[in-house]
Amino acid sequence: MKLINPFNFYIALTVIILLFPFYSYSKGKIYGHSKTLSKEYKKYENCLLKKTEANIKDDEKDGYKCIYKRQTRGKDVTIFQPTNACIKAFKCKQEPK
């Protein structure tokens, strides 16, 4: 006495094998208030070195200032430091619009 026809068994097995992996790619659900979706992320842009100048204060050289040009043509970014070795580029925060 056969309970299941072998042909039907193989069809059912094939359907299960083909459909099973798609359940792992389904979209996740969020219950309640999501912290990551409502969070404001800080946006950054590239700032490239424009020029290096000596910082003169009270007729004395007081280190150097590195002036960087923003990628979005906003205000220039100025960094004061004791040596004239400025990095060529870095990620700076975008200005609020």
pLDDT of residue 89: 94
Q: Collapsing DSSP states into helix, strand and coil, what is residue 25?
A: helix
Contacts with 49 (C-beta within 8 Å, 6 or more apart), sequence order: 66, 67, 68, 69, 86, 87, 88, 89
pTM for the full predicted model: 0.57
Tens of pLDDT, residues 23-32: 556 666 667 7
- CA gyration radius, the chain: 31
pLDDT of residue 42: 84
* Residue 37 token pair: 């979706």
Contacts with 78 (C-beta within 8 Å, 6 or more apart), sequence order: 65, 66, 67, 68
Q: Collapsing DSSP states into helix, strand and coil, what is residue 37?
A: helix
Tens of pLDDT, residues 40-94: 788 899 999 999 999 888 888 889 999 999 998 889 999 999 988 999 999 999 8
pLDDT of residue 39: 72
**H or E element in which residue 28 lies:** none
Phi, psi of 85 (to 5 degrees): -85, 95
Per the DSSP assignment, residues forming a β-bridge with 52 are 66
pLDDT of residue 20: 66
Tens of pLDDT, residues 4-26: 677 888 888 888 777 766 555 66
